[in-house]
């Protein structure tokens, strides 16, 4: 578009030029230290997103092949309206705290294949609830410019007390003197999940979105549909 267009430029979320892929854990840490400054902690993010994306990755037994999937759900009906997959190799060894570098390239490739742009990314892993406050959800949020939240099944950092047994109850996840997320009960009597902000979202809104995505099961429908898709894609690839 020329600078003489009638309309002002759309307020497109600023994508972040992807830094070179790190080759060593030390380089990966340096990338995190650099990108963490770009995380938007204010949000508050969309109160009523039209579409919400789920991202997940499945690995082959051999460990040298993976399939990444993104499913986009209508936030109101939770029906899948778009999806994409990408098969590849793990881009990094698995190191707790550097987990994102393994799956990021494949996840970004899958995101690129979508025909729509989701209003929110729901990631399988943590956001701020990370040793350097830059988990997968922050990384994906900063690189895509999209609002993002992290939903982890097990803790990585922090201390907490179990929330009461009813769906919707939560307790703060604390680490190093700060609140980095929430331990949220998504169904009565099930193990809680660990919700944290990724990018351009408030913790309150992140919690609300996760509850809206868990009408029946412990994990968000976004995660469930993406999990099924990447498993199927991996089976086809083998």
Partner DNA sequence: GCGACAG
Partner DNA sequence: ATCTTGTCGC
Q: Which residues bind DNA (CB under 7 A)?
A: 56-59, 61, 94, 96-100, 124-126, 130, 135-137, 150, 152-156, 231, 234
Q: Which is nearer to DNA, 48 or 88 (CB)?
A: 88
CB of 99 to DNA, least distance (A): 3
Does the annotation list 124 as a binding residue?
yes
Q: Which is nearer to DNA, 99 or 170 (CB)?
A: 99
HSE-up of residue 216 (Cα within 13 Å, Cβ side): 4
Task: Read off the DSSP letter of residue 219.
Answer: S
Q: Which is nearer to DNA, 73 or 229 (CB)?
A: 229
Does the annotation list 232 as a binding residue?
no
Q: Which is nearer to DNA, 85 or 137 (CB)?
A: 137
CB of 153 to DNA, least distance (A): 3
Buried/exposed 120-144: b ≥16 CB within 10 Å, e otherwise: bbbbbbbbbbbbebbbbbbbbbbbb
CB of 128 to DNA, least distance (A): 10
Q: Which residues are CB-neighbours of 228 under 8 A, at least 6 positions away?
A: none
Please answer whether residues 152 and 193 qualify as being in contact, where contact means their C-beta atoms are separated by less than 8 angstroms: yes
Helix, strand, or coil (residue 143): helix
Q: Which positions make up the binding site for Mg(2+)?
A: 56, 124
């Amino acid at each position: 578009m020329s600078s003489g267009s009638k309309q002002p430029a759309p307020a497109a979320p600023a994508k972040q030029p992807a830094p070179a892929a790190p080759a060593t854990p030390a380089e990966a840490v340096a990338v995190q230290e650099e990108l963490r400054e770009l995380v938007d902690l204010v949000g508050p993010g969309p109160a009523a997103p039209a579409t919400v994306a789920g991202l997940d990755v499945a690995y082959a037994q051999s460990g040298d092949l993976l399939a990444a999937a993104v499913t986009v759900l209508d936030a109101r009906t939770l029906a899948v309206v778009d999806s994409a997959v990408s098969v590849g190799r793990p881009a990094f060894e698995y190191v707790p705290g550097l987990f994102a570098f393994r799956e990021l390239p494949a996840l970004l490739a899958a995101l690129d294949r979508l025909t729509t742009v989701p209003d929110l990314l729901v990631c399988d892993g943590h956001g701020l609830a990370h040793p350097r406050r830059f988990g997968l959800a922050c990384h994906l949020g900063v690189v895509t410019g999209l609002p993002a939240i992290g939903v982890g099944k097990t803790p990585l950092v922090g201390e907490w007390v179990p929330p009461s047994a009813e769906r919707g109850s939560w307790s703060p996840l604390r680490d190093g003197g700060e609140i980095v997320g929430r331990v949220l009960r998504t169904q009565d009597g099930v193990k809680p999940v660990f919700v944290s902000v990724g990018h351009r979202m408030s913790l309150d809104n992140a919690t609300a979105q996760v509850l809206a995505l868990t009408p029946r099961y412990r994990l968000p429908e976004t995660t469930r549909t993406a999990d099924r898709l990447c498993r199927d894609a991996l089976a086809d690839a083998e």
